[in-house]
Amino acid sequence: MRILVTGGAGYIGSHTVLLLLQEGHQVSVIDNFSNSSPESLRRVASLAGRSLDAYHIDLLDAESLAQAVGEIKPEAVIHFAGLKAVGESVAQPLKYYKNNVVGTLNLLEAMNKAECRTIVFSSSATVYGESTDLPLHENTLRNATNPYGRTKLHIEEMLEELAASDSRWHIANLRYFNPVGAHESGLIGEDPQGIPNNLMPFVAQVAIGKRAEVQVFGGDYLTADGTGVRDYIHVLDLATGHLAALDYLSNSQGVHVWNLGTGAGSSVLEVIDAFARISGRPVPYRITERRPGDVAESYAHPEKARLDLGWKAERGLEQMVADMWNWQSNNPDGFPEANHQLVNAKSLQDFIRGSSPTITE
Ligand code: NAD
Ligand code: UFG
């Protein structure tokens, strides 16, 4: 299939693009590189041994977007592009509504014009808000508690209304739980800018010695060890979920919702312990106050995806941590920043097609 991937240079996008290329699909990526590096796409192309088309376009630039979508003529779109930092969304809500909601609106209009009406959307377990209806089912009441979460909720609703208005649309809302891990090559992975917001990348930076200790946000939850429990899912399992959803949509109209999680929860202390064990490095930690807005536990009821898609997560916490550590220890500073400048000097396409996985100035 000819597939357009928005946000394909990012963490989940890059792993999914790799899988799509390996499965023989023709892939075009649109990204503004606001939270990613073209280097990830170059490594993906090099790992797959196949090229892809990349467009440096912001979804907010409706005109360039429509032109590119018209040129690409995709049969389906996987839509990852979006901003995702909860704290930043509280400080700058308009930036989030504009980027995520308006960006998606522009994309849907461009798709409609190009006669492409199949989309897989990156939603999030964040749409369940502070629900205690565990495990979380697809029909658990939605109730997002911060602007980021509400952008996901508004987009889900917009997609539902679109499908109700026009039966030609094929839509999947995938609600991810907590994506972690990296490709086993150690060549692509999550590259957070500044201080990581999420637990696993923070723990990885403590293990590598970049940060002194992990602050454990709350030790008095009603969980087995008092710390928060989450459903961590390997990014490659998540990526295969997108391929399964695309397959399902090829002969199913309307809106479909699936949780992508493992169904099992791990506590903060279990994650820290697994990381210290597998990396062989000390991971000092200190229990501090709860983080506002956090829930005690969140884990998926993953059965609907298994029944409808024949998909289930295969990799456990040990594998997630081992792959995360492999990525972190091979790339202690993430993707090389120098390559951003090089891309401006060369064309994006030439850069991605370059054969060696790293460039020195
Ligand atoms: P990421 O930041 O690594 O990837 C997002 C990509 O989108 C980046 O490459 C960024 O440059 C690009 N982008 C952002 N705004 C854009 C715009 N206006 N135009 C063009 N490109 C733009 O994030 P990720 O972890 O890979 O997440 C992908 C998607 O999954 C996001 O929509 C996110 O909200 C959602 N999600 C992520 C998580 C998580 O914990 N990582 C959990 C649930 C849902
Ligand atoms: N935590 C710490 N210390 C840290 C960071 C996190 O103790 O430095 C704890 C949190 O309190 C929580 C757990 O680790 O108990 C996981 O926290 P994350 O920030 O890694 O993940 P969240 O579950 O809070 O949220 C993530 C994404 C959301 C997404 C959600 C569900 O940040 O965008 O998963 O997919 F919506």
- Per-residue pLDDT reduced to its tens digit, 136-155: 999 999 999 899 999 999 99
- Measure 6 CA to ligand 1 centroid, in angstroms: 9
Report how far ligand 2's centroid is from the alpha carbon of 102 (Å). 26
User: What pLDDT, on the 0 to 100 scale, is given for residue 273?
Assistant: 98
Give tens-digit pLDDT for 310-324.
999 999 999 999 999
pLDDT at residue 358 tops 50: no
Q: How many CB atoms lie within 10 A of CB 138?
A: 17
Mind listing the pLDDT tens digit for each residue in 183-193?
Answer: 999 999 999 98
Cβ-defined contacts of 272-277 (< 8 Å, 24+): 272/203, 272/214, 272/216, 274/317, 274/318, 274/321, 275/200, 275/203, 275/204, 275/207, 275/321, 275/324, 275/325, 276/207
Whether 11 sits among the annotated catalytic residues: the reply is no
If you measure from the C-alpha of residue 197 to the centroid of ligand 2, how many angstroms do you get, rounded to a whole number? 7
Whole-angstrom distance, CA of residue 349 vs CA of residue 173: 31
Q: Whose CA is nearest to atom 41 of ligand 1?
A: 179
- Which one is the CATH code of 2-360: 3.40.50.720, 3.30.420.10, 3.30.160.20, 3.40.640.10? 3.40.50.720
Mean pLDDT of the chain: 94
297 lines ligand 2 (CB under 6 A): no
Q: pLDDT grade, residue 345 (50/70/90)?
A: low
Instruction: Locate the domains of the chain by residue range.
Output: 2-360
Q: State which of 5, 12, 19 you would mutate to test the pocket of ligand 1, scoring each by most atoms of that ligand within 8 A of its C-beta.
A: 12
Question: What does the pLDDT read at residue 96?
Answer: 98
User: Residues 28-61: pLDDT tens digits?
Assistant: 999 999 999 999 999 999 999 999 999 999 999 9
